[in-house]
Amino acid sequence: MTRAASDILSTLEDMLGTDLPIRVRCWDGSEAGPADSAARVEFTSRRALRRILWSPNELGLARAYVAGDLEVHGDLFALLDVPGLIAGIGEYRVRGMRPAAVGRAAWTLLRLGGVGLPPRPPAVEMRHGRSAKHSESRDSLTVSQHYDVGNEFYRLLLGPSMVYSCGYWEGSAGTLDDAEEAKCDLICRKLGLKPGMRLLDVGCGWGSMAIHAAQNYGVDVVGVTLSQEQVEWAKMAVADAGLTDRVEVRLQDYREVDDGPYDAISSIGMAEHVGLANQPIYARQMFGLLNPGGRLLNHAIASVGPLPEKPARTPSFIDNYVFPDGEILPLSKTVDALERAGLEVRDCDGLREHYALTLRAWVENLRGNWDEAVRLVGTERARTWLLYLAASALGFEAPDRLTINQVLAVRPMDSGVSGMPTTRREWYR
């Protein structure tokens, strides 16, 4: 009688020090765990065990799932939300285990074929480049790896809005497209856009914000991105909207923009690529590109709590598969950099719950178009995005993991006048 599933489940529970509410199935047909579990994990190959042993933190499990050595049936959210499961397994929490339990775990993994050479990582694992972190050449590479995977794939994922950032959900009956349009409009109102103004959209994506601002607020827009495929899509979208005389889209690094001044700047989901060391450079560049009285809207994911004293020494799933070199900073670091550059921070809006709703909508889009997504980008990449989006949704649903803020700042006039409204009434309808 085979019993690989019960052995694996017992080993995982020994590592975590708790019972796991998951059903496990193995390559030998054995099964273990609650029959009514919402999440069922299938180890299709012994390679999954070797990936877990060789790769630190959650990376081993992610590699096993992306490569197909581990399948998840049922509710992926329920599996990812099991306390301690993802981080706990990879950290090999053997220090709290009794010696007998450590011995059992080692013998189980050895007997089941979990010990051996590390398997090759899945082909979609990203490269970080050899140049300095957040140099222009390396940022160009890492951004391209994430965004230049095919516009048609992103169309399936994002829907008609083609906006890859947190929406603004004004009511329970709204759609994803409604939320993304409402977000663009909220930003336009916070920036105080009026006909004849000049707007810089940093990290313009597929051009949705630029088009919305030009169509609805009569401004002239320059959008910059490091993704060639985004530039191609955005230029076509601008032409289809009849706005080629009002909207210019460039393949350009934010550090290279030198045709200011602008009356307003929107930076939506871009600052996460800047990095802590370059925050002062980014803030000074935004200040220098604004007219006195001009406003900056910085819309970015933020970590909750202070930065760790020492950076993590082990690679993560996000860094290896989704956003190489991405850095999620506390709100305090963003505000400090903006103020040191001379900008006056006037408002901060937390939208954590809004991003959780947005991410779940993207998950539903991907699941609903799964076969087409696999055809466009392959199974490994489709699995990567599903895992990333589902885990991120849970991260924003918890109050102590991730959040997202819209920080509104202004370059004061020489007289010290900010030109800001005295209340928020004109921003919120």
- Taking phi over 0 as left and psi of -120 to 50 as alpha, with beta for the rest, 144 belongs to alpha
Among candidates 237, 229, 267, 75, which has minimal Cα distance to 153?
229
pLDDT above 50 for 228: yes
Share of the chain above pLDDT 70, in %: 92
Residue-level pLDDT at 128: 76
* Rounded CA separation 222/245 (Å): 11
Tens digits of per-residue pLDDT, 284-311?
999 999 999 999 999 999 999 887 776 6
* Residue 312 confidence (pLDDT): 63
What band does 114 get if pLDDT is binned at 50, 70 and 90? confident
Sheet strands side by side (includes 31-32): 31-32, 23-26, 39-43, 70-74
Range of lowest pLDDT (56-60, 70-74, 121-125, 221-225): 56-60
Is the model's pTM score more than 0.85? yes
pLDDT for 91 equals 41
pLDDT of residue 93: 44
**Closest Cα partner for 140 from 300, 327, 273?**
273
Residue whose structure tokens are 């950290």: 91
Percent residues over pLDDT 90 in the chain = 66
Beta-bridge mates of residue 266: 201, 297
Angstrom distance (rounded) from CA 279 to CA 271:
8
Query: 59 pLDDT exceeds 90?
Result: no
Close Cβ partners of 93 (under 8 Å, ≥ 6 residues apart): 15, 16, 17
Q: Quick one: average pLDDT of 393-403?
A: 92
330 strand-pairing partners: 303
Q: State pLDDT tens for residues 177-194.
A: 999 999 999 999 999 999
3-state secondary structure the chain: CCCHHHHHHHHHHHHHCCCCCCEEEECCCCEECCCCCCEEEEECCCHHHHHHHHCCCCHHHHHHHHHCCEEEEECHHHHHCCCCHHHHHHCCCCCCCCHHHHHHHHHHHHHCCCCCCCCCCCCCCCCCCCCCCCCHHHHHHHHHHHHCCCHHHHHHHHCCCCCCCCCCCCCCCCCHHHHHHHHHHHHHHHCCCCCCCEEEEECCCCCHHHHHHHHHHCCEEEEEECCHHHHHHHHHHHHHCCCCCCEEEEECCHHHCCCCCEEEEEEECCHHHCCCCCHHHHHHHHHHHEEEEEEEEEEEEEECCCCCCCCCCCCCHHHHHHCCCCCCEEHHHHHHHHHHCCCEEEEEEECHHHHHHHHHHHHHHHHHCHHHHHHHHCHHHHHHHHHHHHHHHHHHHCCCCEEEEEEEEECCCCCCCCCCCCCCCCCCC
- Decide which of 5 and 143 is more confident: 5
Q: What is the pLDDT of residue 140?
A: 84
Half-sphere exposure of 308 (CA within 13 A, CB side): 6
Give me the pLDDT at residue 90, please. 39
Strand partners, 402: 303
Is residue 224's pLDDT more than 90? yes
Which tokens in the block code for residue 277?
Answer: 């060391």
Domains of the chain (ranges, CATH numbers): 4-111 (no CATH), 136-410 (3.40.50.150)
| Whole-number pLDDT of residue 94 | 43
pLDDT value, residue 311? 64
Residues 6 or more apart from 106 whose CB is under 8 A from it? Answer: none
Does the pLDDT value for residue 413 go beyond 90? yes
Q: Is residue 44 predicted with pLDDT exceeding 70?
A: yes
Give the model's pLDDT for residue 85.
64
Structure tokens of 80?
Answer: 């990812």
Residue 85 CA to residue 200 CA, distance in Å, equals 43
Higher pLDDT, 156 or 82: 156
pLDDT of residue 61: 87
pLDDT for 86: 56
- Average pLDDT, whole number, for the chain? 90
